[in-house]
Amino acid sequence: MDGVASETQVSTAVGVAEARVRAAYAQISEVDRPEVWITLLPEHVALEAARTVDARRAAGAVLPLAGRTVAVKDNIDVAGVPTTAACPSYATEPAGRPGPATVTAPAIQALVDAGAVVLGKTNLDQFATGLVGVRSPYGAVRHATLPERVSGGSSSGSAVAVALGIADIGIGTDTAGSGRVPAAFGGLVGIKTTLGLVPTTGVVPACRNYDVVTTFTRDLELGVLATRTMTGADPLDPVRRPWPAGVRLGLRSVPVVAVPRDEDLASLSPGWRAAFDASVLAVRAVGAQVRRVDISGMLSAARLLYDGAIVAERYEAVGAFLADAPDADPTVRAIILAGRDTPAHAYVSDRARLAVAKVEAAAVLDGCDLLLLPTTTEHPTIAAVQADPVAINRRLGTYTNFVNLLDMAAVAIPAGAADGGPFGVTLVSRAFDDQLAVDLAARLLGVESAPLVEAGVDVLVVGAHLRGQPLNRELEELGARFHRSVTTSDAYRLVALDTQPRKPGLLRVGPGAGAPIVGEVWRLSAGALGSMLAGLPTPMMLGQVELEDGSWVVGFGCTAEAGTAGADITATGGWVEALRRGL
C-alpha cells in the first residue's frame, strides 16, 4: 500500500524515474552490447512506465525503488513479453508457454509496485543450465570490461547490464551458483536468499526444489532493499517459507567465520588463491575470529547436482520439450536429457544422501556464524569455455553447487582483483541466517548494514545489556540487532540493584516525577524475545516504557519492591555514567 511522502520528497522526486530511464537507454546505445538482451523494451514503453512512477510520487506515494532500472533474466515472466529461457522456440507454439506472458512474476511485480522500471529481458545460459554465459543462441554474453572472458552464467545478461551501468538492479536465478559467479566476475553484490523466501512463481524451473530468484547490484544497500521487497511477495507460492519466529536479526560483534582448509582450496588458480588468502586477513581485520574447517563433505555433495540423480529435476522441468527443440544448445540438451532415464530409487537415494550431507555440514559449522568461500575458482576466456564446455563449467561451480542443495543462503561480494579482473568471495550462512551474511558483507565493504528482515520487536535496555556491558552477549546470542540510542521520558527513576552482575532497575514514577534515562533499543525476533522473557531472573521484568519522543517500546524494568530497596541513581542519567562515577 502506498504511503504519504513529505512535500520535499514529492518535489525532488518528480521526473527522477524518467531521467534515470533516459540515461539507461543512452548507456545502452553507448556500450553497444546487444548480446546482453533477448527482449529490450522500446524506450517509449519504459519511459511511459517511468512517468507513471513519477506521477505516483507526485501524488504522494512512497516508492522506495522509484526510478530504479531493472534487467530481468529471461526465464522469469514479465507481462507482455515472451519468456524464452534463451530458447526461441520455447516462447512460441506449440510449446507449453506460447506467446508473451500474461502475468508478471510476483517477485518482479513487487519491484514494479515499489517504483522500479523494467528495461527488458536478458540473455542467459539456456534454461539456466550453466555458469559461463555462452550457452545461448542469442550469443555469448561477454564480460563487461574484459570482452574476451566469460561474464558468468547462467544469469549473464542481468549481471552485465548492471556492471555496464545500464540497470540498477539485475534479477537472476540461482540453482548452482548463477546468482553468485556472475557477481564475482562483474565486481557486483549478489544476494541469494534461503530457499523459499523469494517466490519462484512465474519462473521457468531449472530444479524446482533448489531454485532461488536473486539480485545483482553495485552496492549492498540496494541489493538488500530489492531482495527485501521481493521476499514473501506471493503468499500462495507452493514452496514459500516465511522467516521463522526465532530468526536472527543481527551478527555478533565478534563473529566466528569458518574458512576452508588448504586442501579444500586446491581448485583455485594461483591468483585466486592469493586473493582469497587476502580476504581471510580482511575478515580478521574487521574483528571476526577465523576457524579452519573441513568442507570436503560439502564439496562432495555439490557433485550430486549434475553427476547424480538430482539432474532428473532438470528433465522434469523442461526435458520433454527440449528433446525435440530445434534450437537447443547441444551442451544444455545433453545435461538435461541425461536425467530422462533416472530411476526413482536413485533420485530418492540421492535426496537421502543430501539429507545426511546437510547434517554433516551443520556439524562442521557448529559454533561458527558463517562460512567464507572464494565464489569461484578462476576467470576463463570464452574461447577456453567453448573448447571445453563441461569441465570448466564444473570447476566454476566448485564452491557454489552445494549451497542450495544443503539449504544455505549466500551473499557474494567483490573482494579485490585477481588475474587481471575482479575477484569475489561469498559469505554462506545456515538457512534463515541471511542477515548474518549481509552484516559481515557490510563490514568487509566498509558500509552500514541494512536490515533484510523487517519483522521484530523493539526492546529497550538501560543497564547490563547495553553495548560494552557484561550481559550484552545475551542479546547477541539471541541474534538481536542494535537499532538506536534513545532516552526515556522524565517519568522514570533508575536504581542500582543488589544483583550479580550489577545492574540497574527502571521504575515508572509518573510524568515529571523522574528524569530522562539513557538507553538503547535493540530489535529481536518474536521467538528471541520469548526466550529472553522465559529466562528473565528476579527481580527483572519486561513492560512498556515511554521514550522521550512520546513513543512506547518494550523495556526492562524491575519490581516495585526491588526498586524501593535499590540505591537511587536517577541523577546520573544512565547506567554507564553511574558506573563511571563509581556508584
DSSP string, 70-127: EEEETTB--TTSB--TT-GGGGSTTSSS-SB-SS--HHHHHHHHTT-EEEEEE--SGG
Angle at 415 between CA 414 and CA 419, to 5 degrees: 100
Cell reading at 231: 521476499
Give me the residues paired with residue 69 across strands: 117
Residues 6 or more apart whose CB falls under 8 angstroms from that of 90 comprise 83, 84, 97, 204, 318, 321, 325
Cβ atoms of 498 and 566 within 8 Å: the answer is yes
Is residue 73 annotated as part of the catalytic site, yes or no? yes
Residues 6 or more apart whose CB falls under 8 angstroms from that of 59 comprise none
Q: What single letter denotes the amino acid at residue 425? A: V
**Pairing mode of beta strands 289-293, 370-374:** unpaired
Residues 6 or more apart whose CB falls under 8 angstroms from that of 429 comprise 369, 370, 371, 408, 409, 410, 436, 437
Can you tell me the distance from the alpha carbon of 284 to that of 288, in angstroms, rounded to the nearest whole number?
5
73, 121, 358, 503: which one is catalytic? 73
Nearest to 369 by CA among 449, 287, 450: 287
Is residue 178 annotated as part of the catalytic site, yes or no? yes
Is residue 154 annotated as part of the catalytic site, yes or no? yes
Cβ atoms of 440 and 288 within 8 Å: the answer is yes
Cβ atoms of 408 and 358 within 8 Å: the answer is no
CA 96, distance to chain mean position in Å, is 32
DSSP 535: T
Q: What single letter denotes the amino acid at residue 495? A: V
DSSP string, 297-340: HHHHHHTHHHHSGGGHHHIIIIIHHHTT-TT--HHHHHHHHTTT
Can you tell me the distance from the alpha carbon of 150 to that of 44, in angstroms, rounded to the nearest whole number?
32
Cβ atoms of 167 and 147 within 8 Å: the answer is no
136, 151, 154, 279: which one is catalytic? 154
Cell reading at 249: 536479526
CA 208, distance to chain mean position in Å, is 19
DSSP 149: B
Cell reading at 499: 544483583
156, 178, 429, 489: which one is catalytic? 178
Residues 6 or more apart whose CB falls under 8 angstroms from that of 179 comprise 155, 172, 173, 190, 191, 192, 212, 214, 215, 216, 412
Cell reading at 523: 530489535
**Pairing mode of beta strands 481-487, 567-568:** unpaired
Catalytic positions: 73, 154, 178
